[in-house]
Chain A
Amino acid sequence: MSAFHLPPYARSMGMEIDHIEEGGVPVVAMDFAERVQGRPGFLHGGAIGGLLEMAAHAALRAELDRQGSDLRIKPVNISIEYLRGGVQERTFARGEVIRAGRRVANVRVEAWQGDRGKLVASSWMNFLLAAPKTS
């Protein structure tokens, strides 16, 4: 059971939870299509960034769920290294929560295509954790 649902942006980009890895970490995937293409034949850097962020969100939500925490997640910043051009294939991304404290969470995220060892992009992301809104 996970409280994480892909938002409208992720769904319209064709992102989906591909599978859940051991330890409960979700792998988010996105198929190649015209809507994610940058220069002809390659993935757009922003589409890769969007996928990395979604995987970071998903991994952090899964970790907070595991801890029984219902804190809200707000992105603070992201830094992306583009390692090789994303080709016309399905792209995967997986986040690893380095630390989830009371106010801040730090997540590392990687994206790859056919070969898990050949990364398309690597990034870190910081999140602010906030108390759930009381309604």
Chain B
Amino acid sequence: MSKDDKAAGLMKAIMPEGFIFDPERGARWFTRAGHTGFLGMEYHDHGPDWIELALPWREDLVGVEETGVLASGPIISLLDNATSMSVWTRQGTFNPQVTLDLRIDYVRAATPGKTVIARAECYQVRRSMAFVRGIAHDGDASDPVAHTAGIFMLVSSEGWSKP
């Protein structure tokens, strides 16, 4: 069996045809290992076309040692994951996709010690692209830390992952 067949087989086992994407279970599965697992991302909440993920503050993720402010890198990762999962949440199914572009405006520094929550919404899906937007905040959604807008390219499952 070729590597690609193996990958396709694994995809089918995890996500069979007609697979319903359950945002809560899906988010827990996607944050269990790899980069998201390393950062300690957690499922928070979801609705029909939006999902929230949380990232607890951690000393080894700090970007400014003197102040304890979280680095912006983990916030990019959190927004990337939350926006990505908002597409599957809206569609109710899992489809392979890759990030085409992502823009993030850092409105203010995240408060040291506080958990950052990303709330992401998929506002449009076309044949080959999904459009997303979101915010990150540290407790008060009306006073965000960051705003984001991005686009995901919907791709075929062939070669999407190399387990």
| Given A7-B71, A9-B71: A77 in contact with B103 (beta carbons within 8 A) | yes
From the candidates B59, B78, B103, B162, name the one contacting A8 in the complex (CB within 8 A).
B59
Interface flag for B73 (CB, 8 Å)? yes
| Distance of A127 Cα from B125 Cα, bound (Å) | 32
- Which secondary structure dominates chain A's binding surface? mixed
| Distance of A82 Cα from B153 Cα, bound (Å) | 10
A residues 24-58 near B (Cβ < 8 Å) are 34-42, 44-47, 49-51, 53-54
Interface flag for A85 (CB, 8 Å)? yes
B residues 105-163 near A (Cβ < 8 Å) are 105-106, 109, 160-163
Which residues of A sit under 8 angstroms from B8, Cβ to Cβ? none
Instruction: Across the interface, name the chain A residue whose C-beta is closest to B97.
Output: A39
Which residues of B sit under 8 angstroms from A71, Cβ to Cβ? none
| Given A40-B161, A46-B35, A49-B102: A7 in contact with B64 (beta carbons within 8 A) | yes
| Given A40-B163, A41-B163: A78 in contact with B104 (beta carbons within 8 A) | yes
Establish whether residues A35 and B38, one from each chain, have CB atoms under 8 Å apart when the complex forms: yes
Interface flag for B23 (CB, 8 Å)? no
Chain A interface size band reads 35 or more
Establish whether residues B61 and A12, one from each chain, have CB atoms under 8 Å apart when the complex forms: yes
Q: How many residue pairs at the A-B interface have CB separations less than 8 Å?
A: 123
Interface flag for A81 (CB, 8 Å)? yes
| Given A38-B35, A40-B162: A77 in contact with B104 (beta carbons within 8 A) | yes
Which residues of B sit under 8 angstroms from A78, Cβ to Cβ? 72, 76, 103-104
Establish whether residues B71 and A45, one from each chain, have CB atoms under 8 Å apart when the complex forms: no
Chain B interface size band reads 35 or more
| Distance of A50 Cα from B60 Cα, bound (Å) | 14
Which residues of B sit under 8 angstroms from A80, Cβ to Cβ? 76, 99, 101-103
Interface flag for A76 (CB, 8 Å)? yes
Establish whether residues B161 and A42, one from each chain, have CB atoms under 8 Å apart when the complex forms: yes
Could you list which residues of chain B lie within 8 angstroms of chain A, going by C-beta atoms? Answer: 7, 10, 33-36, 38, 59-65, 70-74, 76-81, 96, 98-106, 109, 160-163
Could you list which residues of chain A lie within 8 angstroms of chain B, going by C-beta atoms? Answer: 7-13, 34-42, 44-47, 49-51, 53-54, 74-82, 85, 88
